[in-house]
Structures are given as structure tokens and as C-alpha cells.
Amino acid sequence: SSERLLQRGRGGSLVGWDSHLSRIFLLLLFVVSAQGLTPNPEACLVFSSVNGSSISCQPPAQIPHSLPADTIFLAVEFFNLTQLPADFLQGVPNLQELHLSSNRLEDFSPKFLLPVPQLKVLDLTRNSLTGLFPGFFRVSAALCTLVLKGNQLKFLEASWLHGLKALRHLDLSENQLHSLPPGLLENFTDLLTLDLSNNQLQTLPPDLLRGPLNLERLHLEGNRLQVLGEGLLAPQPKLRYLFLNDNRLASVAAGAFRGLQKLDMLDLSNNLLTTVPTGLWTSLGKAARNLKDGFDISNNPWICDQNLADLYRWLVANENKMFFRNHTRCAGPEALKGQTLLAAAESH
Amino acid sequence: MADAEAGKKIFIQKCAQCHTVEKGGKHKTGPNLWGLFGRKTGQAPGFSYTEANKNKGIIWGEQTLMEYLENPKKYIPGTKMIFAGLKKKSEREDLIEYLKQATSS
């Protein structure tokens, strides 16, 4: 009743109808704007803001035939689509983010991205792409993030990625790449993260990392690399995170880590390393940040002999940063088999 | 038995590109996660969330994170977070154990 909307607060002052009413209005406004224009669960979610509309579609919603002209965010995910219409993005020139993950997209019209030159994010995770086109990204100078994780790429052409001047994050993980073309990253001066994990890479082009000025994260885990060569990391002295775990590394060149000045984390776990060449570990030890987030050399068949002297010294000084000490053990010589590397280091 | 050490590695490898955990850590592509547990979705001060995330309306805890981290885009349709999810239950448990420790004092 209206009397209850007039309450006496402390000190006898009236808490009026006005403040309750304005609270109710605010609540209604929040609910309406939160639910968007279409609270029907079989329709796409639509959110409107001063910047533009955000549209998110998943089954059982129907994919819209037309989109609001001010759409800045569009997600069409978890459908069984093998293709999208060539003019799908025709009416949304301000689009900044396009999320198309978990469909079955096999290919695109070569003109698909031409209507959206302001696109910053393109997520194509978990589709069925076997390739793209030269020039597919020719107007995509604003694209920062490109995710092609979980497709069926068996090879790459560098020309597919021409035009991506502003690219910062490139994710090519979980494909079937067995090799990479030379000059892949040549023009990617702003690239910060390169994810090539979980492919079938056996070797890497020696010039792979030439191009970016400040690469921070390099993911190579889950491939079939056998050797880490001398020059691979040389173009990226400011590299901070290096993931080489779950490969078949048996050999690391003595100068492989030479230039790395800022390495925060190094993961060499689950490889076939038995030893490290003299000098390899001292060059790591000089890194300014000195692997502050940790290192992992577990699950390698270490031969705990004199050749590990450098590594032992460093381990003892940095054991607090060592991941999985109990899984970092000697495979030989016979007398030390099964002992932890740390124990071998401490008794050296 | 959830392993926070394993969880820390998962975090560094798969989350740290976009998130920090420590108190006062900066927002990156994603929000700093300090104070996550017991907090409603979309509430880290100073981060610009999607409406989808803000409106999810659940409290972050072990169970909600287990569900979310398996398939974030299913749990929060319309999220801008690009992360396919962790299929292995043990990996999610490890990560959540690490987050429990790292995002609170």
C-alpha cells in the first residue's frame, strides 16, 4: 500500500515515494537493458550500448538474416554450418569482434572480410578449415587477434596472412601442420604471442622468428621437434615465455638460449633430454629476470654425470622456481637411477 | 587430489596471456582475478565486461568454475573470452586449486 512507501527513517525524516520510485525505475531499466530486446531463448541474445549492438547466437536460436547496422560484436557458435553466405557481413561495417568458433566451416568466400575493415578479433576455433586465400585479410589492417586453433590446416602459405599489419596474437594450435613456410612472420612487427602448439612440426625454418620486434610468448609444445638449433631464438632477445614441452627434443644447441635476456618461464618437460651442452645453462642464468615464473625440466631421461655440472649449480641456486621436482629424475648412470636431479645436484 | 603446482603451470601456459592473479595486478585482455572466489560474475573493479558476463549472475566457486572452464562460451554465451576450455577434469581441478590459492590471501 502507498502508506508503506512513506517510511519514517532515523531522526524522523521521511523517506519518500520519490526515492523508492526512482529505485524501481532503475531496476526495471536494468532488467530491460540486461535482457536486451529479445528475451526469447530461441532467439539470439542482443545487447545494446552507446557503442553499438552485441549479438550472440547459439542453437536453438536461428542465425539472423540481417544484422543491426551498428553491430560491433557478433558471435555465431556451435552450429553445424559448413559455410556462411558471401555477403554475411555486408551490413555491419563497424564490426570489431567476430566469434565463429565450434561450427564446421570448411571455407569462406575470398571477399568475406572486405565489409569489415575495423575487425579487431576473429575467432575461428574448432572449425574444418584446410586453408585460406592469399589476400583474405587484405583489408584487415586492424586485426589484433586471429585464432585458427583446432582446424585441419596441414600446411600454411605466408600469403594467406598478408595484410595483418597490427596482429598481436596468432593462434595456429591444434592443427596438423608438419612444416612452416619461410618468412611466415616477416611483416608481423607487433606480434606478441605465437601459438603453434599441438601440431606435427618436426623442424622449424631457422628464420621463423624474424619479423616481430617484441615477441613475448612462443608456444611450441606438443610437436615432434627433435633439435633446438642455435639461431632460432636469436631474433627475439626479449622473449618471456618459451614452451617446448612435449616434443622429442634430444639435442639443444649450446647457444640456443644465448640472447634471451628476459625469460620468465622455460618449459622443457616431457622430452628426450639426457644432457645439456656446456654453457647452455649459464647463458640462461644470466637472464635479467632469471626465470622468475619458473622452469620445468621434468620427465626427461637425464644422465646425471659430470656433464650436468652447470645445470646442478643453477638448480641448487634456483630450486624454489623448479616445477615438479619429484618428476625430475636421473635415468642413469645405473648408480643414480631414480634419484631426483635435485638430490644429485645437492650431493655433487 | 588437486595439484596447485600443476594448476600454476596450466595458468601460465593457457591463461596468463590475458589474466593476472595477484592483488593489484593489472587488467589485460581479461580482468585481474584477485578476489574471484565468492564474487559474482563481471565484478572485478575497473574492467569492461560484456553484458553477457555481467548478467550471468552466478557466484564464482569450485563448482561454477568447473563448469565454466570446460566450455566458457557455452556457460556464458556472448562472452568475449577466447578459450576453448579444458576437457580434462583433472586439469580443471588443478587450475581451480591454484586459483583458490593465488587469488586470495
What is the pLDDT at residue A261? 84
Query: How many domains, chain B?
Result: 1
Which chain B residues contact residue A78 at CB under 8 A? 73-74
pLDDT(B8) > 90: yes
CA-CA distance, A321 to B12, in Å (whole number)? 13
Q: Does A139 touch chain B (CB under 8 A)?
A: no
Nearest to B96 by CA among B16, B17, B3, B24: B3
Q: How close, in Å, is residue A8 to chain B by CA atoms?
A: 33
Across the interface, do A75 and B84 touch by the CB < 8 Å criterion? no
A42 exposure class (CB count in 10 Å sphere: 0-12, 13-18, 19+): exposed
Q: Does A47 touch chain B (CB under 8 A)?
A: yes
What is the pLDDT at residue A5? 36
Which chain A residues contact residue B16 at CB under 8 A? 241
CA-CA distance, A77 to A71, in Å (whole number)? 16
Which chain B residues contact residue A169 at CB under 8 A? 17
Greatest Cα-to-Cα distance within chain A, rounded to the nearest angstrom: 89
State the CATH number of the domain containing residue B77.
1.10.760.10
Across the interface, do A221 and B78 touch by the CB < 8 Å criterion? no
B27 is in an annotated binding site: no
What is the pLDDT at residue A65? 84
Contacts 24+ apart (CB under 8 A), A227-232: A227/A203, A227/A251, A227/A252, A227/A253, A228/A252, A228/A253, A228/A256, A229/A204, A229/A253, A229/A256, A230/A254, A230/A255, A230/A256, A231/A206, A232/A204, A232/A206, A232/A208, A232/A256
Record the pTM. 0.90
B1 is in an annotated binding site: no
Domain extent, residue B87, equals: 2-101
Residues of chain A with confidence (pLDDT) below 50? 1-15, 35-38, 288
> Which tops the pLDDT comparison, A42 or B19?
B19
What is the pLDDT at residue A227? 97
What is the pLDDT at residue A6? 37
What is the pLDDT at residue A269? 98
Q: DSSP of A109-136, one letter per residue?
A: -TTTTTT-TT--EEE--S-------TTT
ipTM, interface predicted TM-score of the complex? 0.96
What is the pLDDT at residue A1? 41
Q: Does B5 touch chain A (CB under 8 A)?
A: yes
Which chain A residues contact residue B87 at CB under 8 A? none
Pairing of strands A330-332, A265-267: unpaired
pLDDT(B98) > 70: yes
B19 is in an annotated binding site: yes
Q: Looking at chain B, which residue has its C-alpha nearest residue A124?
A: B82
Q: How close, in Å, is residue B21 to chain A by CA atoms?
A: 13
B66 is in an annotated binding site: no
Q: Where are the beta strands (DSSP E) in A67-174?
A: 71-76, 97-99, 121-123, 145-147, 169-171
